[in-house]
Structure 1
Amino acid sequence: MSFNLHNIVISNREEVLEEFKKIGVDGGGAGVMAPKAFHYLFKVYDLTPKQANILKQEMLGKGGDAAVARGCVDASIEKTDILLIGTEKQFRAAIKKLRLQPFRLARLAEQLEETLVNLRGRKVRTLECRGKHLVLGERTLVMGILNVTPDSFSDGGKFNNLESAVEQARRMVDEGADIIDLGGESTHPGYEPISVDEEIRRITPVIKVLVQEFDVPISIDTTKAEVARVALEEGAHIINDQWSLRADPRMAGVVAEYGAPLVMMHNQNGTDYHDLMGDMIRFFRESMDIALKAGVERNNIIVDPGIGFGKTVEQNIEAMRRLKELDCLGLPVLLGTSRKSMIGKTLDLPPDQRVEGTGATVALGIAAGVDIVRVHDVKEMVRISRMTDAIVRHASH
């Protein structure tokens, strides 16, 4: 007779502690063994052979391992990336030794420690939105897209006047939207940029009504600091910057001044990458530095992988597959895949027939841990989110 044996899949510390509890493990023993249950693979870029060889030695000494480029041992190369392989316990032991090492390895030790903490999972918390409140981590929040543009790729300018825009916002809130994201400038490939004055003219009348009529926070999708300032003065609650503070150097200061939450989206000109996710993580770290130096609170920052921006279809799909790698930042994640060309090109469908493809990306995003999904089809995506939450977050509604 065979033994009853199977593999256990766990995604966080709480889940492994629950498995220990099921078989009656002593509480003290569970705390000791939990760091042994998580196996990590970390990639560090552009190290000198001296740095890499010390790292490899420290990991090997703690029972882990490290993979480096050929030529690293004899320093016949100038730089190498390195893959660090080990359990949480092994990494923590290595971190203690790295703190005593030269060649900036003490700083790397601090980053490894920060990453291990971030990978334990984001706690449920309240995002303060200038008088409005959003709870992050209990369930997936749904952001409804409201474009007041004549050339939107997805809705053809259907809401390009005050009455239709407010009616659409009302419909989305009734269908379960937690946030309304208002945009006055199209950003699809080949779009025509508009002036600051024109963008302000388009969004200001709508903001005035939305902040008075609806209880949900109003997000403003803009890359321009002056547009953000006017919107916040009119009572908007969140700034959604598709260039992560890179398009307008004044944006970080405006966001900090008003204490608004900030969505930073990954974007770039062209689709060339050294390493897709590594380059994206570096991009976010650089934008985080800009934000923090300007006075934006870390707790107010949300990241968006920028599906459909600066990426080929294949790169978008790879980013979707590797969304959990954003967990190392320890920040909430917003995912915007709604009706994107990635879906259209994969399924060979026009924008108004991409709801099922959007639903697939929303469900997979939630399974990967995203906190907010930005969508056009609110009713359908709320239902998909609630069902996926019931499985992934054990959330009931």
Structure 2
Amino acid sequence: MSASQRVVVLGAGVLGLSIARELAQSGAQVTVVSAGGVPRTASLRSFSWLNSLSAWPLDYHRLRLRGIAHHRRYAAANAVPWLRFDGSLNWEAGGASASLSGVHAHMLTLEYETRWLKAGEAAALEPALAVAALGDASVLHAPGEGWIDLPAWLAVLEAASVSAGARFVKVEGDASVSTQAGRVNGLRLPDGTLVPADAVVVAAGAATPAVLSPLGAAIPAATNRALLVHARVARPGPKAVLRGPDVAIRTRADGALVLHAEWADDEVRDDGPNRWAVEADVVQDVLARASATLSGCPTLELLDTGIGLRPIPGDHYTVAGAIESVPGVFVAFSHSAATLAPAIAEALAPEVLGQGRDAQLDPFRPSRFSTT
């Protein structure tokens, strides 16, 4: 397949737009279809912590570092307030627990910079952090990590895609991959219109497994419900990403705070297809716990909440590559897409265009799962 071929990308989140930009800038004729429009994307509900702080296998760690390196290059070339690398501070209840200690030991084997700080040292490094919130915990500092405001990054990706010739189609309802004689021939829109294509990339977030299932591709998912809280604070927020046992906190480019609490995700209620809700007292509890984590316990004013599905592959690792049962169909499905999207896009785009496979994706191809 040549670069001039027609490619449809289903999904306008950070994965879809990153791939669309790579394809369009390579000369492909790209159409991006967003089912339900951009506001439905999980990218707008992402905490967007740029990191590789976990006991990841080496292959996955390297893929994450590739994504972080891309973001670092962009930050170095563009003085933007919505992409920062001021590190992360991480602690757990009851001191340095076995899980964080294990992560630190693993990071040392990977030469990923982390170090233990005492409570006072952490508060000196990050004045917005309350020493009392740490108790007797040791704090794991990862100085090379950061965060990104995805709405701003999505706008950059969309503008770059359009500048390179991509067109955008927003529809209400579910699109489906169309095939003819055993291979892809386009994407079928909800109204029945066929968008012809030589290749289709499915980057539809939580809907990805359902889109691929009719093609005989079984992509297991561990997708869950998620709550993200945005709040205004009258004083400067933390520069570093703060991750404690009760709540995670980062500052947005406009000075507001982004808050996530895993326990609060479990309180999100499913009220029907694409409808989710959470009780007001849960949101207030998130705000209270965030306030207690910050120096001086500042008042936090609720701005808005993001509620919906967090796309997670069944084994928690990226799924990217060709759907072998239907030539011309490709998938990009991932948790931590804020970190991984640039790497996945850079690796996958040449494969979509028939220019060879990137070996870095080999451990993460959909063929690792059984098909029906």
TM-score by length of 1: 0.26
* Pair member with larger Rg: 1
TM-score by length of 2: 0.28
More helix by share: 1
More strand by share: 2
Q: Which has the higher contact order (CA 8 A, sep 6+)?
A: 2
